[in-house]
Amino acid sequence: MIARPTGSILRKLTTMNVLVSGTALLLACIAFFAYDQMTFRQGLIRTLSAQAQIIGSNSISALIFNDPQSASNTLLALRNSPNIASAGVLLADRQHIFAHYTREGTDEVVDIPPLPDNQEQAYWFRSSHAVLIRKIMSDGKLVGYVYLRADLREINDRLWRYAIIAAAVLLVSLLFALLISSQFRKSVAEPIIDLATTARKVSQDKDYTVRVANNGERDELSTLIDSFNEMLREIQQRDNALQKAQNELEHRVSERTRELVSANQELEAFSYSVSHDLRGPLDSLNGFSYVLLRNYSDKLDANGKESLQSIRAAAMRMSELIDDLLNLSRITTSTLHRERVDLSIFARSIMDELCRTAPDRRVEFVAPTTADAYGDARLLRIVMDNLLRNAWKYTSHHERARIEFGHQTENGSVVYFVKDDGSGFDSRSTERLFQPFQRLHSAAEFPGNGIGLATVRRIVQKHGGSVWAKGLVEQGATFYFTLG
């Protein structure tokens, strides 16, 4: 049973909802703060401008009649404006302060910015205060300036209050977002988790009978679940059909195996019959013909003796053919006993035997020091014996001969070969070489039954390999083979 995942998708959906809600609220708070700052500053400038205009109007006579006390009394009215840190009335040259007002604990008027000639008033915002300057005009003439400096601590206090309010609203909103996410969990996240759990179970257990429960809503997720269930249904049908076909195939293989066992038993029975029932009459035929030649040769003429010799030769050839057929059938039905063998040792041993049978022949034999292979030692010796005897036979008409055994690597596989410079063969007849009793030369030219290369092919195929040959007439031949 696969544990139900506890949810990366839930965490992702919850995180997404919280981030989206928090980002939207944060952007809204920032926009609200920016708008509040802008409107507060505009209101502050309007208030300062009105106050400067009032002070300027009330200070015209004081400036004209040089009455600083009257101007100072006018500035004292600013005590009712808590945001005014300092104020002053300046003469027209802006070098002398005619009257000034400073709230307790604040700096006096210093560093008054210049006012362009074409403007009636101007204002500047600094980090901690705002400054406004306004001209005092009388009958179109400049008689002085009004200077107001407002503290911005109030706006900072407003920012802190708004920040606390915004943080509280953001926290409450995120809590509501979490609550709403948990409410939508059943309709969105849980079907996805069920889908992922089912997919993992199908992948691990190969159980195509499971299905994902649909939420009953007609949305994209419902369509996905229906498609997934339909896919499982089709896979299940195909799996059942495949299982049925596999059962039928196993049944057929079982039947063919029984038939093959029966055929092998019949072949063994046939081999036994050939070995005992046919060999007996042949031995009798060969024996009686020998008795006739030995005891009654003086009563036979030359034709009679020649006929008896032909009968004996035919019987011996028939006996050899029976032996070859039996050997070929035994190779087909025998069991492989694989082990590591050195084919070079086999080759040298076989060539030594052949050289002892014909010491007068001049044959050069070449073989590597070792040629490791993996297979049935008895059968591989038969392969080497047939190939080397074949090369020995088809180089017998040459005064000098060269026979070579070796191996090479082609496409990652070891290829063994036996090469000679004998009579060779027509390359168009290559396939006939490995067919039983198919000969490319007459028996008078080269003796043999045509069964040796067929035996080589059976043994190599039994090892899972392949065998092929290349040659030209009177230019020698090369036989290649691989072992699986």
Map 383-424 to HEC letters.
HHHHHHHHHHHHCCCCCEEEEEEEEEEECCEEEEEEEECCCC
Angstrom CA distances, 280 to 274, 289, 322, stand at 9, 14, 12
pLDDT at 402: 92
Residue 327 CB contacts under 8 Å (≥ 6 apart), including other chains: 451, 455
Helix residue spans in 185-219 (DSSP H): 190-205
- Angle CA 471–476–482, to nearest 5: 60
DSSP helix/strand/coil, 88: strand
Which among 59, 117, 118 has a CA at the least distance from the CA of 88?
A: 59
CA distance 420 to 387: 10
415 beta partners:
408
Residue of 386, 405, 288 lying closest to 343 (CA atoms): 405
* 215 and 222 Cβ atoms separated by less than 8 Å: yes
- Tell me the C-alpha distance between 86 and 78, whole Å: 9
User: 3-state secondary structure string, 94-124?
Assistant: CCCEEEEEECCCCCCCCCCCCCCCCCCEEEE
Structure tokens at 270: 């046939």
Helix/strand/coil for 210: coil
Residue of 467, 475, 468 whose CA lies nearest to 424: 475
Query: Which helix H or strand E contains 285, and what residues bound it?
Result: helix 279-295
3-state secondary structure of 426: coil
pLDDT at 10 (0 to 100): 64
Give the angle 331-337-343 at the CA atoms, nearest 5°: 85
pLDDT of residue 417: 95
Report CA-CA distances (Å) from 404 to 347, 387, 399: 10, 11, 17
Asked if 136 and 55 count as a contact pair (C-beta separation under 8 A), the reply is no
**CA gap 438, 448 in Å, rounded:** 11
Which pLDDT score, from 0 to 100, does residue 406 have? 93
What is the token pair recorded at 33? 């703060």
Q: Which of these, 52, 119, 123, 118, lies nearest to 90 by C-alpha position?
A: 52
| Phi, psi dihedral angles at 364 (to 5 degrees) | -90, 125
- Indicate the residue type of 470: K
Alpha-carbon distance of 453 to 319, in angstroms, equals 19
Distance CA 48, CA 145 (A): 14
Q: How far is CA 111 from CA 53, 59, 134, 143, in A?
A: 21, 22, 15, 20
| Whether 376 contacts 336, CB under 8 Å | yes
Q: Residue 467 gets which letter from DSSP?
A: E
8 Å CB contact between 230 and 41: no
Q: Across the strands, what pairs with 322? A: none
From the number of C-beta atoms within 10 Å of its C-beta (0-12, 13-18, 19+), residue 408 rates as: exposed
How confident is the model at residue 329, as a pLDDT?
63
Residues 6 or more apart from 379 whose CB is under 8 A from it? 331, 334, 336, 459, 462, 463
| Beta-bridge mates of residue 88 | 100, 147
Q: Look up tokens 């003086």; give the residue.
A: 298
56 with 136: CB under 8 angstroms? yes
Per-residue pLDDT of the chain (484 residues; tens, 9 = 90+): 444 444 566 667 677 777 777 788 788 878 888 887 788 888 888 988 898 898 888 888 888 888 889 888 888 888 888 888 888 888 888 778 888 888 876 555 556 677 777 788 888 888 778 888 998 888 888 888 898 888 887 777 777 887 888 788 878 877 877 777 666 666 666 677 777 777 777 777 777 777 777 766 666 667 777 787 788 788 878 888 888 888 889 888 888 878 777 766 666 666 656 656 666 677 777 777 777 777 777 777 778 777 777 777 777 767 766 666 666 666 666 677 889 999 999 999 999 988 888 888 889 999 999 999 999 888 899 899 989 988 888 888 888 899 999 999 988 889 999 999 888 887 777 777 777 655 555 554 555 566 778 888 888 988 889 999 888 888 889 999 999 7
Q: How many CB atoms lie within 10 A of CB 324?
A: 19
